[in-house]
């Protein structure tokens, strides 16, 4: 699934674009009414991986990203604003293997 952020100052147009794209089943769509709002949403998604970010200020997602990065694996949050988190783990080609089960 591909995450899309649509930006426009007309809420009705944003809703039409969101419905059209999500009906294909290929896209998750988030919307913003201004460039500033869009920038804030994007920046917030990256901040969750900073050390000390959050209510408990533990290592949380910071340590998860660091551990994954050792193997060349990436993690991003691409959930919809105010609708919940969705994490995508990116494994580079050749960075995995299939094993046969007994």
Task: Give the pLDDT mean for 65-82.
Answer: 86
Interatomic CA distance for residues 57 and 52, integer angstroms: 4
The reported pLDDT for the residue numbered 73 is: 93
The length of the chain, given as a count of residues = 102
Average pLDDT over residues 53-58: 73
The residues near 48 (Cβ < 8 Å, ≥ 6 apart) are: 54, 61, 77
Confidence (pTM) = 0.58
Q: Which residue is it, tokens 């949050």? A: 77
> What residue ranges define each of the domains in the chain, with the CATH number in brackets?
2-90 (3.40.50)
Cα 100 to Cα 28, 71, 94, 97, distances in angstroms: 34, 22, 17, 10
* Residue 83: HSE in the Cβ half-sphere, 13 Å Cα cutoff: 9
pLDDT surpassing 70 at residue 81: no
């Amino acid at each position: 699934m591909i995450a899309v952020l649509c930006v426009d100052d007309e809420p009705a147009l944003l809703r039409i674009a969101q419905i059209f794209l999500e009906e294909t089943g290929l896209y998750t769509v988030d919307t913003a009414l201004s460039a500033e709002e869009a920038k804030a949403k994007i920046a917030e998604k990256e901040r969750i991986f900073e050390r000390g970010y959050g209510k408990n200020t533990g290592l949380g997602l910071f340590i998860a990203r660091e551990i994954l990065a050792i193997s060349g694996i990436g993690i991003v949050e691409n959930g919809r604003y105010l609708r919940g988190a969705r994490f995508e783990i990116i494994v580079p080609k050749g960075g995995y293997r299939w094993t046969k089960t007994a």
